[in-house]
Amino acid sequence: MSPLRIACVHSGSKRAEQGFQELSRIYSFVPPEECDVILALGGDGLMLHTLHQHLNLGRPIFGMNCGTLGFLLNTYDADDLARRIETAQEFGLCPLKMKAVTRKGETSEFLAFNEVTVLRHTGQSANLRIQVDGVERLAKFVGDGIILATPAGSTAYNFSAHGPIVPLGASILALTPVSPFRPRRWRGALLPHSAEVLIDNLDPDKRPLSATADFQELFEVVSVSVQEDPSHRAKILFDRDHSLQERVLREQFVE
């Protein structure tokens, strides 16, 4: 059996740089285009950037935490890395595709593995109309904005906005309001993963909005449509005793 070809990317932080130097003395890394697996050293932000940057290569990604939380990564350990990768559990993640139209009539498309957000861009609240699969569900939402999160992203911004943690494999998305004012008692919805959500700005002249897909942000948007994109699928590797499913479940019992 030929040796495992590993590429390595890192965030550039002091801790990640130290990890890269340590691992470079043990393993001979190759460019991402020539590898069997990509090793990512950093935090969740670096992991998201790696998913986006190397999605088209189709290589699995094994992350090791050199950041803060590291929800999408494994613990850092330089020992026996090849064995850990070869015995790791693979999790497939389909991103959301955001299509946004600006006031100038320009259309942009981005992918999001965590969430898509539509937020007010000034001190005034956002006035939004929300449709799901072509059916108007909220004629007028007033608040700071809306989050549409994947199961993997439900523990991030969605959770901070008091949205639900969604178990992996549940095939649902979390639609969560950010600081809702009207409807006063609306706290969000759980949607089928195949749902198409359309968010319209009801007052683009006075109440500008921004739309963000993970870390990619647009301004002056007038409409945003979001739907899962099954044509893309990222592959993330986790140690079998520390799977992503277990982390999502454990997060629901944290005090």
Structural Rg of the chain based on CA atoms: 20
Is 214 among the residues known to form the active site? no
> Which tokens sit at 249?
């479940």
Contact between 191 and 197 under an 8 Å Cβ cutoff? The reply is yes
Looking at the DSSP bridge assignments, the partners of residue 147 are: 117, 176
H helices of the chain, in order, are 14-24, 44-53, 81-86, 157-160, 244-251
Catalytic residue among 36, 44, 144, 205: 44
Q: Which residue has the tokens 């803060």?
A: 68
DSSP string, 126-168: EEEEEEETTEEEEEEEEEEEEEEE-TGGGGTHHHHTTPPPPPT
Which runs of E-coded beta strand occur in 12-121? Answer: 37-42, 61-65, 89-93, 96-102, 107-112, 115-120
- The residues carrying an active-site annotation are 44
